[in-house]
């Protein structure tokens, strides 16, 4: 889990909009796509390991993984959110 004070300081490295914690529905949708072998990060590398957490820009679109409690805020490591995750996060 990310400290709320620290989270308020974080912004998307691409768009500079604030980040929020990924919802359980967003993580589940990403992990389902990862298990199906259908996820490639923005750097072009396949994502094979399930995500334990992530940060999403408030305008959505991608998820930045959290690995061992550390947010990986590199644009090449961003994982596109599946369309089902985007729809679920707005409801």
Query: Which residues lie below 8 Å from residue 67, measured CB to CB, with a gap of 6+?
Result: 52
Is residue 91 pLDDT above 60, yes or no? no
- Taking the domains of the chain in order of start, what are their residue ranges? 4-89
- The predicted pLDDT at position 59 comes to 86
What is the chain's mean pLDDT, rounded?
91
Is pTM beyond 0.75? Reply is yes
How far, in Å, are 11, 21, 30, 71 from residue 83 at the CA level?
22, 18, 10, 23
């Amino acid at each position: 889990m990310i400290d709320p004070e620290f989270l308020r300081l974080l912004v998307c490295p691409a768009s500079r909009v604030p980040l929020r914690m990924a919802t359980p529905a967003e993580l589940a949708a990403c992990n389902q796509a990862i298990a199906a072998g259908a996820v490639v990060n923005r750097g072009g590398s396949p994502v094979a390991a399930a995500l334990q957490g992530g940060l999403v820009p408030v305008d959505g679109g991608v998820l930045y993984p959290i690995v061992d409690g550390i947010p990986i805020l590199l644009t090449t490591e961003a994982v596109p959110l599946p369309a089902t995750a985007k729809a679920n996060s707005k409801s």
